[in-house]
């Protein structure tokens, strides 16, 4: 985690005993996150990381990724990511 906000969020979650999931760009699939959300019964989700000024284009990437996560959850298609969205 290379952002101060992200590190602060991880520390706060650890202190509160809240589950965390670290997404690694290029390795983590939307289906991985969707499966974790289901398994942990997550009802409120906090996404933290670099801001756009530090990582140009991150906003669009995160929006696309999270849209794929929520589509998986809405369709009940939490699986192995064989449909191309991961």
Q: Report the pLDDT value the prediction gives residue 7, as an integer from 0 to 100.
A: 87
Say if 51 falls within a structural domain.
Answer: yes
Q: Report the pLDDT value the prediction gives residue 48, as an integer from 0 to 100.
A: 86
Cβ atoms of 58 and 10 within 8 Å: the answer is: no
User: How many distinct structural domains can be found in the chain?
Assistant: 1
Say if 85 falls within a structural domain.
Answer: no
Write the pLDDT tens digit of every residue in 63-72: 999 999 999 9
Q: What is the model's pTM?
A: 0.81
Say if 86 falls within a structural domain.
Answer: no
Say if 23 falls within a structural domain.
Answer: yes
Rounded distance, CA 72 to CA 6, Å?
Answer: 25
Which of 44, 43, 42, 35 minimizes the C-alpha distance to 69?
35
Q: Report the pLDDT value the prediction gives residue 79, as an integer from 0 to 100.
A: 58
The domain in which residue 33 lies consists of: 4-75
Sign of CA dihedral 11, 13, 19, 23: negative
């Amino acid at each position: 985690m290379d952002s101060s906000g992200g590190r602060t969020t991880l520390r706060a979650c650890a202190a509160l005993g809240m589950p965390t999931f670290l997404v690694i760009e290029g390795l983590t699939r939307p289906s991985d996150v969707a499966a974790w959300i289901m398994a942990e019964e997550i009802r409120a989700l906090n996404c933290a990381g670099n801001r756009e000024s530090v990582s140009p284009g991150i906003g669009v990437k995160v929006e696309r990724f999270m849209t794929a996560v929520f589509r998986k959850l809405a369709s009940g298609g939490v699986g192995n990511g064989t449909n191309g969205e991961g």
